[in-house]
Amino acid sequence: MSSHTTSLNPCLSCGACCAHFRVSFYWSEATAKGLPENLTEQINTFFACMAGTNDPHAPRCIALSGQIGVAVACQHYEMRPEACKDVEAGDEKCARARARHGLPPLPTAQDHAATAQ
């Protein structure tokens, strides 16, 4: 989830990427961001991930509240790992995550540009 600040933000009625990708990071990032231990899972000596995202069948971040595709929120948005910012609304990863949850892709920047012409 890239942002959650405006009511027009499509992420607020989506949340698909928080229930698709394993959100992993170097373990010290959790400490640096103040993420509570119960929100993370150790993957190996060096890497951890957001709890719930390491499930290959039904990943869902423990910090995600709400119903995917309806209304969601990240309960620890200010502390979220940098990996959460890798998915931008309308990019290819976003489209893949949304497809997994039966949601159509968002318009891309090119789509917006073509509409404006």
Number of residues that bind ligand SF4 (CB under 6 A): 24
Please tell me the distance from the alpha carbon of residue 93 to that of residue 114, in angstroms, as a whole number.
Answer: 21
Nearest CA among 77, 102, 75, 107 for reference residue 89: 107
Q: Which is nearer to ligand SF4, 84 or 117 (CB)?
A: 84
Q: Which is nearer to ligand SF4, 40 or 46 (CB)?
A: 40
Please tell me the distance from the alpha carbon of residue 29 to that of residue 24, in angstroms, as a whole number.
Answer: 10
- Residue of 25, 26, 84, 100 interacting with ligand SF4 (CB under 6 A): 84
Query: Is 51 among the residues that bind ligand SF4 (CB under 6 A)?
Result: no
Query: Is 54 among the residues that bind ligand SF4 (CB under 6 A)?
Result: no
Query: Is 2 among the residues that bind ligand SF4 (CB under 6 A)?
Result: yes
Nearest CA among 97, 84, 102, 76 for reference residue 19: 97
Beta bridge partners of residue 41, listed in sequence order:
49
Please tell me the distance from the alpha carbon of residue 36 to that of residue 33, in angstroms, as a whole number.
Answer: 9
Q: Where on the chain is the footprint of ligand SF4 (CB under 6 A)?
A: 1-2, 10-11, 14-18, 23, 50, 61, 63-64, 74, 76, 80, 84, 87, 89, 94, 97-98, 106
